[in-house]
């Protein structure tokens, strides 16, 4: 069986694309890293990388081994963490994922409560769209995630627990020109750039039909903090579940647009983990805290 250290060295080489940079990253000399890769290739009976003047490129075998190496390393890390946590959660780590909207409110609140209760458990949070989070979950880089689940339904590899829905809103800066116009139509909205995160297919198709545009989003960004800052500083408008902008609207930093109801969608958050796979003690406790916080609903906006 191949040494996990060799796999770790190979992953570093694949990610850095260069022996010298990879060697520095794993704290080895370049000759030592080269010997480790050669030993891995000898053990597997195939060439993993093509060496050239600019660095390296993966062979077909290399790409396949990289996929499995990442999964094995993540699994080894998860096993060590779960064993160290067994009993009193006095150590170990927890690897989570979150979509842009849950990462703006629900997930950080949960992490805050978890960190207060279990300060010695190290938490790693990956913020990304649901497609990439699913990939990271299936390769065991993360243990569970919270994101939009509309595109994940029907995947037998996943265990999905829907969370409470929050009504959708379209928001802008308090001095936006649209706030003084009445009535507000789709044509009015179309005069200003619409920004948002990656849209689920059903939402994107609905916006295409209503707006008549092939690309309804003028600006796409999966960092919701960036989107809120963009809206606050310009005439760009954006959409989001009410729960993630409620505080800013109530404080007067953002404002809601009174738009046709057909434009608005409810959120579709869910808690996603691997089907048939037990959660670590830390992940189980984090999940419990999240579900408790999820029950503390935010009153919908009055428009």
Q: At what angle do helices 281-294 and 106-117 cross, to 10 degrees?
A: 130
Average pLDDT, integer, range 23-49: 89
DSSP 8-state secondary structure symbol assigned to residue 91: S
pLDDT digits (tens, 9 = 90+) for 54-84: 888 899 998 888 888 888 877 777 666 666 5
Spell out the residues 6+ positions from residue 71 whose beta carbon is closer than 8 angstroms to its own.
139, 140
Shared domain check, 161 and 172: no
pLDDT digits (tens, 9 = 90+) for 259-269: 766 556 677 89
Shared domain check, 48 and 188: no
- Assess if residue 109 is contained within a domain: yes
> Looking at the DSSP assignment, which residues form a beta bridge with residue 237?
194
Range of the domain at 240: 168-263
Shared domain check, 201 and 177: yes
CB burial of 70-96 (b: ≥16 within 10 Å; e: otherwise) equals bebbbeebbeebbebbeeebeebbbbb
pLDDT digits (tens, 9 = 90+) for 234-293: 999 998 889 899 999 999 999 998 876 655 667 789 999 999 888 888 899 999 999 999
CA distance linking residue 52 with residue 58, whole number of Å: 11
Shared domain check, 290 and 237: no
What CATH number should be reported for the domain holding residue 52? 1.10.10.10
Q: Per the structure, how many domains does the chain have?
A: 3
Shared domain check, 31 and 155: no
Shared domain check, 290 and 142: yes
pTM of the predicted model as reported, rounded to 2 decimal places: 0.66
Shared domain check, 152 and 272: yes
Average pLDDT, integer, range 213-228: 84
Q: What's the chain's average pLDDT?
A: 84
Q: Pick 299 or 48 by higher pLDDT.
A: 48
- Assess if residue 302 is contained within a domain: no
Shared domain check, 63 and 26: yes
């Amino acid at each position: 069986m191949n040494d996990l250290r060799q796999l770790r060295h190979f992953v570093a080489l694949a990610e850095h694309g260069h022996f010298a940079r990879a060697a520095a990253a794993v704290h080895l000399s370049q000759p030592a890293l080269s010997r480790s890769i050669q030993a891995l290739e000898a053990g597997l009976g195939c060439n993993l990388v093509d060496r050239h003047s600019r660095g390296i490129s993966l062979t077909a075998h290399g790409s396949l081994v990289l996929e499995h190496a990442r999964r094995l390393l993540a699994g080894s890390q998860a096993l060590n963490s779960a064993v160290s946590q067994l009993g009193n959660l006095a150590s170990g780590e927890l690897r989570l994922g979150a979509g842009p909207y849950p990462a703006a409110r629900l997930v950080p609140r949960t992490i805050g409560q978890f960190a207060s209760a279990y300060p010695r458990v190290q938490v790693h949070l990956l913020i990304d769209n649901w497609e990439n989070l699913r990939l990271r979950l299936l390769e065991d880089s993360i243990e569970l995630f919270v994101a939009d689940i509309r595109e994940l339904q029907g995947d037998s590899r996943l265990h999905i627990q829907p969370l409470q829905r929050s009504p959708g809103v379209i928001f802008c800066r308090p001095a936006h020109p649209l706030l003084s116009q009445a009535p507000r139509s789709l044509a009015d909205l179309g005069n200003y750039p619409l920004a948002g995160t990656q849209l689920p297919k059903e939402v994107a198709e609905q916006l295409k039909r209503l707006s008549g545009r092939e690309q309804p989003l003028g600006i796409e960004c999966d960092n919701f903090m960036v989107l809120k800052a963009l809206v606050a500083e310009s005439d760009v408008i954006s959409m989001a579940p009410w729960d993630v902008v409620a505080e800013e609207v109530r404080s007067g930093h953002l404002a809601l647009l009174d738009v046709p109801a057909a434009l608005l969608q409810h959120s579709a958050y869910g808690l996603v983990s691997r089907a048939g796979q037990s959660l670590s003690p830390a992940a189980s406790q984090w999940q419990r805290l999240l579900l408790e916080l999820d029950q503390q609903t935010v009153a919908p906006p009055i428009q």
